[in-house]
């Protein structure tokens, strides 16, 4: 890491590029499957790799999508069209050099996008996922290692308190410490009526989305130094719950409150806590029960931008909140909803 005095103008330009553009190269790179530059260390500073300005309405595929269903928890590799997690478009610049991160749900979706971005920003990354998601997780491990960083894969069920504690212990041991915790894994199952939600589903949703965040945070905090960050994945449904996502929305509303309260507790330790609240994002959560099957082909069409977001488009928020550039930011919720709405 360089110890030269920073150029404030260069830092400002870099921050604006990262926050405003989201580090997404666009439709040509998405369709070409490799046309955009990979974020190898050699490419990280290349101006040619930076995303160009373009119309966000046309940047990625728009509905209608093919009808599709998967058994929960779903695989990104089986989705049509395939999600973009930034595999070929995210360009890092060393913002997280030397950091050590644990990301739950890191095999696909938003967690996978965060894992790729963190590795290309210089962090070593541990990901958690369910055993059924092993094939997606292997791809993420390869991408982290391709960026020259250490990857740790730890499968297991977050509904088990003992496993959550062991997950944090193992991640910290194998990474040599823990600076970033991203509580991202979630269960989402659409049901038309409360009468269709079983106690088993309600319990599983609460434990995956809310209890696990509590257990993991509690285990991680004693291992985290001042300057560390916890980032929780909330949702726009925390404030605008769809009728079919009653239990899921309830957990996300609780996560917003949990984030704000925990941030106040941890301020005296110098640990920041924030949340990211996505709108409609194209992830395996949707075809594996997160949406009603007949509604999935039009998923995201009601967004003012006319399409769902791609995981790559939210990765820069997770980078910003983990970085030292957000040193005075704690207890906040940052939305990425495709125009309008806050958690």
Spot the catalytic one: 118, 211, 248, 281: 248
What's the CA gap between 107 and 103, in Å, rounded?
9
Edge-first strand order for the sheet with 333-336 is 151-155, 124-129, 100-104, 180-183, 229-233, 272-278, 333-336
Residues contacting residue 55 through CB under 8 Å, at least 6 positions apart: none
Token pair for residue 253? 């509303």
248 is an active site residue: yes
317-328 burial code (b ≥16 CB/10 A, e <16):
bbbbbbbebbee
| Torsion (CA) 228, 330, 115, 51 in degrees, nearest 10 | -130
Catalytic residues: 248
């Amino acid at each position: 890491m360089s110890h030269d005095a920073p150029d404030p103008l260069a830092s400002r330009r870099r921050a604006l590029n990262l926050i405003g553009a989201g580090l997404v190269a666009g439709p040509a790179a998405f369709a070409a499957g490799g046309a955009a530059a990979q974020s190898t260390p050699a490419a990280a500073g290349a101006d040619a790799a930076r995303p160009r300005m373009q119309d966000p309405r046309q940047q990625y595929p728009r509905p209608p999508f093919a009808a599709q269903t998967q058994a929960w928890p779903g695989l990104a590799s089986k989705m049509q069209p395939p999600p973009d997690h930034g595999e070929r478009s995210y360009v890092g610049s060393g913002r997280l050099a030397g950091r050590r991160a644990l990301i739950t749900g890191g095999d696909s979706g938003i967690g996978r996008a965060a894992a790729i971005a963190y590795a290309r920003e210089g962090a070593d990354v541990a990901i958690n996922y369910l055993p059924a998601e092993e094939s997606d997780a292997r791809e993420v491990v390869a991408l982290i290692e391709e960026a020259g960083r250490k990857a740790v894969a730890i499968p297991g069920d977050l509904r088990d308190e003992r496993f959550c504690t062991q997950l944090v212990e193992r991640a910290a041991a194998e990474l040599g410490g823990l600076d970033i915790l991203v509580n991202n894994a979630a269960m989402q199952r659409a049901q038309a009526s409360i009468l269709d939600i079983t106690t088993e589903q309600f319990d599983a949703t609460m434990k995956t989305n809310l209890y696990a965040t509590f257990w993991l945070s509690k285990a991680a905090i004693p291992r985290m130094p001042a300057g560390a960050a916890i980032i929780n994945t909330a949702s726009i449904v925390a404030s605008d719950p769809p009728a079919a996502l009653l239990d899921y929305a309830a957990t996300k509303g609780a996560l917003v409150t949990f984030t704000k309260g925990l941030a106040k507790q941890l301020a005296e330790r110098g640990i920041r806590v924030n949340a990211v609240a996505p709108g409609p994002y194209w992830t395996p959560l949707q075809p594996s029960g997160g949406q009603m099957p007949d509604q999935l082909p039009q998923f995201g069409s009601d967004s003012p931008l006319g399409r769902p977001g791609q995981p790559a488009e939210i990765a820069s928020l997770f980078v910003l909140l983990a970085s030292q550039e957000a040193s005075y930011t704690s207890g906040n919720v940052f939305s990425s909803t495709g125009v309008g709405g806050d958690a």
